Chains A and B, each alone.
Chain A
């Protein structure tokens, strides 16, 4: 064992009296090694630094409390110096307030995002079954896994049903959050019951469990237990329980629960069919279980199942189900069929980085302004030293000042954050609450971060200023800033502006991409189309009559039926359709439509023809395919080729449509077929000619009401649904824009402070120059030049960083802009203009000053 390791314990050694230093170091070293052997190096290091930090805190406290009179004095001097330099203090406080307020809001948001699904008491043992990029699993999987896997304690399946008509008496409401669920879901998830018995709530076939707010919606103040509700206008259910609303940080939001078995029975679905995937399966593992064991078990299970179904298991078959922890769903799962839209860890990291950067910029400001003020402060330091102040006391005094400022800024930033929270909530689409008592950890953390910011910002100036030699500073010729100090300042300004420019140019690139996506020719028209969801069977049975009635009006030019709309075709089949036997089958997306879909949406038919009522054979089965499908299959002539729908319906390919973007621009265009089958439509699209839109809508509603009096009438304009598709990008643009703006403000504040300092410091020089005949403009330029040069250099550093970042971001899009020079040039220009404006105000003032004033002081 090495007894003496002074270099390793330099910080520790400084914290204790030299009289016992060696003994302390030895004791710490012994304890650290003891821990390292028993708990591991990391735990030992953690322990060590925790102890050192604690000692530092104690040391600081005793420095203040050893002489309470001095503490009061530090405070008094801090307040005095703040009041004496109002401009500087104001710049500092504004900068730090902005930085901290940003940090507080983002911290609230990030904490909320990280907390998703952790409220379950057994959160670390709950997993969801997934497969490749999909979340659904087949119904028999859950029970089989529960019975055969020793690591699995319990399994529950839930199936979401949206657009469900729920009626109580003659009140009809469409519910989006009905879940058909296994009773075990109440054991696995933490769902506290307000009324009823969770153990028996889903035991009867007609049981219905409501969330508190759903219960209130239907029953107001009445006791809902034992009351009944009717689903789909025909099935009666009895309320057996009321549970507390699921928290906002849950990926599932159940409004109603009913037994899954009832659904199987009433729809005649085969709960043993492995071929169709439509339930979410959640597993509760045993406390000591290894998730990998479950993962491995899936492959065997699947081979058994395939053999049982009479299918061959190809050699080397590896693809199978997987599990993901429930706590990772919100930030790490980017699959199709997610219950609710998820966030992305990359986004969380990005926004956290922005928060820290903005705070750092504010810190840098403080450092710059504090060192820049060294000239007036140096006299104070010198005098204090002459009358006997020790360096440690001076350091404590300057740190005290920065902590005072930061506490002031913290108070203000809490107010600002509280005021800005409603706006921020709309921006991030959350309902964050500002409640220190409910969230002591976060607010304690914010206090800690503030103090650390204060120390970080104060420590450089503190050591810099306290290091002056009294004999030098009290001499009249002392001019403050030494060369290394001003170089540090310039580098800090450079860093600030580099960060700012990265933010600005990123904003421009995001905006470009957004613009590109909005303007892109998607291959179908979006305007003047009203979309009506078809929910009621009565509507579906009378579509012909409704269509004929609607087309009779002059303000309606076309009516089309389709299962999916052209902007979101997500159904696909993996059936081998290309006729190529080698390799994995390529998935092909599909849409089922009526005759007029392609025409109404102006989708171009490049070969062959559209579906037509004039060809009676079409009704028996007809297909359109897109160009990508033709290319993928390698067909020379797709027309008249035999094709098969996933259900087994056969028909001929009658035409080829031009490729259109049937998903967001993130995805490349994939193979697609359109099958003529008006019967399975779930959307009715109506093309209108806008003379009096509300009259047209009223007419359509009247037509619907004829057949479906109970269901609420709902419609959307197609171009509106389309605008919603790029919400994420729009939000990112706003977030970047706002934070870039803040960074600009803070950086400009700092620059302004420096300009003031520089002008003050060189006032005599400028006075002499003026007397010797320099023009005011020349002087202003002279003063501004230095700063502008640094801002320009900042650009050079920022560009590659921004380009790299944005290139990575754009990689997520199959169709993207190439970030050209424009965004970077624009942000450079913006930064330079802002810097020039900031600096020149001060420079001009200095240039216009009467030289007599500055020279008289000699």
Chain B
């Protein structure tokens, strides 16, 4: 199985952090907060779509929002495979950073 791209990794993380409550707006907000960049409104959906296709993330509908005629939200949560993938990503990242010599900026 191929490695996740950086974008996909970030989105996977955002979904996990949401703990079952993650949806489009919250994922976008999380990514914009972490990277400090403005993303295209729809830009999260291609990586997200791939994650869904790979079976790492699944989509569920929320209870109707507490307002008259409130719509249901599309929530995202990790599947079991998704959790496995997260663990792999973390292991990989930790392994990569484990033996990095002390990193001090010269500035």
Contact = CB atoms under 8 A, between A and B. Distances in A.
B74 A22 contact: yes
A19 B25 CA distance: 17
A90 interface: no
A714 interface: no
A55 B74 contact: no
Interface in A23-57: 23-24, 26-28, 31, 47, 51-52, 54-55
A17 B52 contact: yes
Given A16-B42, A24-B45, A58-B40, 10 more contacts: A12-B42, A19-B52, A19-B59, A22-B74, A23-B59, A24-B42, A51-B41, A55-B42, A55-B46, A58-B43
Contacts of A52: 42
A18 B52 CA distance: 10
Given A12-B42, A55-B43, A17 B74 contact: no
Interface residues of A, number: 24
B45 A20 contact: yes
Interface in A62-78: 62
Interface in B30-71: 40-43, 45-46, 48-50, 52-53, 59, 69, 71
B18 interface: no
B93 to A, nearest CB: 23
B20 interface: no
A179 B40 CA distance: 53
Interface of A: 1, 3, 12, 15-20, 22-24, 26-28, 31, 47, 51-52, 54-55, 58-59, 62
A26 B74 CA distance: 9
Contact of B49 (A3, A20, A31, A47): A20
Contacts, number: 62
Contacts of A62: 46
A51 B50 contact: no
Contacts of B25: 27
Contacts of A12: 42
Contacts of A31: 41
A54 B41 CA distance: 9
Interface residues of B, number: 17
Contacts of B45: 16-17, 20, 23-24
Nearest to A27: B24
Contacts of B49: 16-20
A17 B53 contact: yes
A20 B49 CA distance: 5
Interface-central residue, A19, A20, A24, by most chain B CB under 10 Å: A20
Contacts of A59: 46
Nearest to B24: A27
Contact of B74 (A16, A23, A51): A23
B52 A54 contact: no
B67 to A, nearest CB: 11
A325 B41 CA distance: 39
Interface string B74-97: 100000000000000000000000
A59 B45 CA distance: 11
A1 B40 contact: no
Contacts of A16: 42, 45-46, 49
12 contacts: A15-B42, A16-B46, A17-B48, A19-B53, A20-B49, A24-B45, A26-B74, A27-B42, A28-B41, A54-B43, A55-B46, A59-B46
Contacts of A54: 40, 42-43
A36 to B, nearest CB: 15
B78 to A, nearest CB: 15
Contacts of A55: 40, 42-43, 46
Q: Which 7 A-B pairs have the closest CB atoms?
A: A17-B49, A19-B52, A23-B74, A54-B40, A27-B24, A20-B49, A51-B41
A59 B46 CA distance: 8
A533 B100 CA distance: 89
Most buried by B among A19, A51, A62: A19
A54 B38 CA distance: 13
A646 B39 CA distance: 72
B79 to A, nearest CB: 12
Contact of B46 (A1, A17, A23, A27): A17
A22 B23 CA distance: 13
B42 A28 contact: yes
A359 to B, nearest CB: 29
Contacts of B42: 12, 15-16, 24, 27-28, 51-52, 54-55
Contacts of B71: 1, 3, 26
Contacts of B41: 27-28, 31, 47, 51
Contacts of B53: 17, 19
A59 B40 CA distance: 12
Nearest to A21: B49
Contacts of A18: 49
A51 B59 contact: no
Nearest to B41: A51
